[in-house]
């Protein structure tokens, strides 16, 4: 849309507004009272929005030279989406309905109508408006001021003739449902236009209730235990039907995310009815509320550095920071946890802070360089890749092996790990359990691992077979001399 077009619309808007008398309401503060709906104004300004209180200064003008300072903007509450303007009304960020880079949906309710002009007029003088003033420069004159409010009002005044007073409610609806005056935008003179009223205090303004078909005088139209405002935001839930899916369970009693909390109880707890683990701590919301007594909105209830779900797995107390009362908080204690992949025959025992085993991955090593005849000849087990999302102090790696072709298991087998700097597999001090066909070795880092036949390994790399010590059934390779890292044979391939 060009600047000249926007200017023309603005001028036409002024004429239109003057004709119907609404612009005087804007300027004189008829709309300057608090809109008592969560979608259009909070009942009280939260402390997190200090510096952004509604001023109602319709005379404010924002541009490059008058926009708020960085320190003033820093006082605003953090945005949920930094790519969108700061919220002007409650916590709802404005949206751009037509994708033109201008945010006509000022109150962020998903609709573009008269109430948005009202919202901009009331919040024009706030820091939040000034911080993103170009988002509201509808006239394209490089500033945001009263003319943009007029443009927005003119644009939203393009309403059907059945809304005589332009308050967002059809005349018949006002006569038959809301019992308001279809000839007066603010029937009760409380400085809130009828379409923005929230008579049932369910945070849905009357015009939104009209769109949804809900009762603007009842906060639970279908009497299913869920406020209309909650149902209107849930996918696939009808606020006018107590049992939307006809499964015999009322919407309020349904458990949409299978977390053992009904939708009604989710609203009481403040959790998400479409996410079984609202705080992402590994515990279902229902378990946190009914079983463990933890906060379903906080991943680490006792702030000890361990998420609640991790504490449950480690059998520490998620409500007490120092479960064993030894002076060390649970998050700094050392634990031994495990990870297993039965298909690959791998078991890990890891020592470190927290449940490391739960964040460790055991996977087949499928890189082409590890899938060669040489590797097949040396290995007596699958070649596996071990990774962990966390640091650990040590880990015992136990690998199952195939005894076929192995002459002397206790002497011939060891766990090997791939050394990326040397470009070959190297042996670790290993213990063979011939009765269970496993070999165990200790490591302080993860890489690629496999059980190799020492004789085949030495022959493959033209190496001197490492000296081994048998102690209690253990195989302890000591020194490895191999041509693979000599100047003559730098880093032989696998």
Nearest to 25 by CA among 163, 165, 130, 139: 165
Shortest CA distance to 227 belongs to which of 192, 271, 263?
Answer: 263
Domain ranges of the chain: 3-158, 255-332, 334-485
Phi/psi-derived region of residue 491, left when phi > 0, alpha when psi is between -120 and 50, beta in every other case = left
Q: Do 135 and 85 contact (CB within 8 A), yes or no?
A: yes
* Cα radius of gyration rounded to whole Å, the chain: 34
422, with CB counted inside 10 A (0-12, 13-18, 19+), is middle
As a whole number of angstroms, the distance between CA 90 and CA 58 comes to: 19
For residue 486, give the DSSP letter: S
Sorted by sequence, the CB contacts under 8 Å of residue 29 that are 6+ apart come out as 56, 191
HSE toward the beta carbon, residue 427, CA cutoff 13 A: 32
CA nearest to 116, candidates 102, 106, 126: 106
Instruction: Look at residue 223 in the predicted model and tell me its pLDDT.
Output: 96
Query: Which residue positions in the chain have pLDDT lower than 70?
Result: 1-59, 157-161, 461-494
Residues ≥6 apart with Cβ < 8 Å to 30: 24, 186, 191
CA terminus-to-terminus distance, the chain: 64
Q: Give the pLDDT score at 117.
A: 83
Question: Which pair of structure tokens corresponds to residue 263?
Answer: 């939708």
CA distance 282 to 457: 43
Q: What is the CATH number of domain 334-485?
A: 2.60.220
Q: How many CB atoms lie within 10 A of CB 191?
A: 17
The whole-angstrom separation of Cα 430 and Cα 433 is 10
Sequence length of the chain is: 494
What is the pLDDT at residue 389?
Answer: 93
Tokens 């008058």 sit at which residue? 66
Whole-model pTM: value is 0.58
């Amino acid at each position: 849309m060009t600047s000249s077009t926007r200017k023309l619309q603005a001028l036409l808007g002024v004429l239109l507004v003057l004709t119907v008398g609404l612009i005087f309401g804007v300027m004189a503060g008829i709309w300057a009272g608090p809109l008592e709906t969560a979608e259009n104004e909070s009942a009280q300004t939260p402390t997190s929005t200090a510096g952004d209180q509604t001023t109602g200064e319709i005379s404010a003008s924002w541009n490059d030279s008058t926009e708020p300072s960085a320190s003033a903007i820093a006082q605003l509450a953090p945005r949920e989406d930094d790519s969108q303007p700061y919220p002007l009304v409650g916590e709802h960020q404005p949206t751009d309905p037509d994708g033109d880079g201008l945010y006509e949906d000022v109150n962020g309710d998903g609709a573009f109508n008269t109430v948005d002009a009202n919202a901009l007029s009331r919040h024009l003088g706030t820091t939040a408006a000034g911080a993103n003033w170009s988002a509201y420069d509808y006239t394209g004159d490089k500033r945001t001021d009263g003319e943009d409010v007029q443009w927005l009002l003119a644009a939203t005044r393009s309403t059907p003739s059945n809304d005589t007073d332009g308050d967002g409610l059809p005349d018949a609806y006002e006569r038959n449902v809301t019992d308001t005056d279809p000839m007066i935008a603010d029937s009760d003179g409380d400085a809130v236009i009828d379409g923005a009223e929230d008579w049932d205090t369910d945070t849905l303004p009357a015009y939104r209730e009209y769109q949804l078909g809900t009762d603007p005088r009842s906060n639970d139209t279908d009497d299913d235990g869920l406020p209309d405002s909650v149902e209107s935001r849930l996918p696939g839930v009808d606020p006018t039907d107590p049992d939307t899916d006809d499964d015999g369970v009322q919407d309020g009693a349904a458990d949409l995310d299978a977390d053992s909390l009904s939708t009604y109880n989710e609203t009481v707890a403040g959790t998400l009815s479409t996410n079984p683990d609202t705080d992402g701590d590994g515990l279902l919301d229902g378990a946190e509320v009914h079983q463990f007594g933890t906060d379903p909105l906080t991943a680490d209830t006792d702030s000890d550095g361990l998420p609640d779900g991790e504490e449950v797995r480690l059998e520490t107390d998620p409500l007490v920071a120092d479960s064993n009362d030894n002076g060390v908080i649970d998050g700094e204690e050392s634990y031994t946890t495990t990870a297993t992949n039965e298909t690959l025959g791998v078991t890990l025992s890891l020592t470190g802070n927290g449940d490391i085993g739960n964040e460790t991955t055991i996977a087949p090593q499928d890189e082409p360089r590890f899938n060669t005849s040489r590797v097949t000849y040396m290995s007596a087990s699958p070649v596996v890749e071990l990774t962990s999302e966390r640091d650990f102090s040590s880990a015992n790696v136990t690998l199952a092996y195939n005894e076929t072709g192995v002459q002397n298991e206790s002497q011939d087998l060891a766990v090997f790990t791939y050394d990326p700097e040397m470009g070959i597999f190297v042996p670790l001090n290993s213990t063979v359990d011939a009765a269970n066909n496993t070999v165990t070795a200790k490591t302080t880092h993860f890489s690629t691992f496999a059980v190799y036949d020492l004789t085949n390994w030495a022959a493959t790399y033209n190496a001197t077979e490492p000296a081994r010590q048998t102690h209690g059934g253990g195989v302890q390779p000591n020194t490895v001399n191999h041509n693979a890292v000599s100047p003559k044979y730098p880093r032989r391939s696998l």
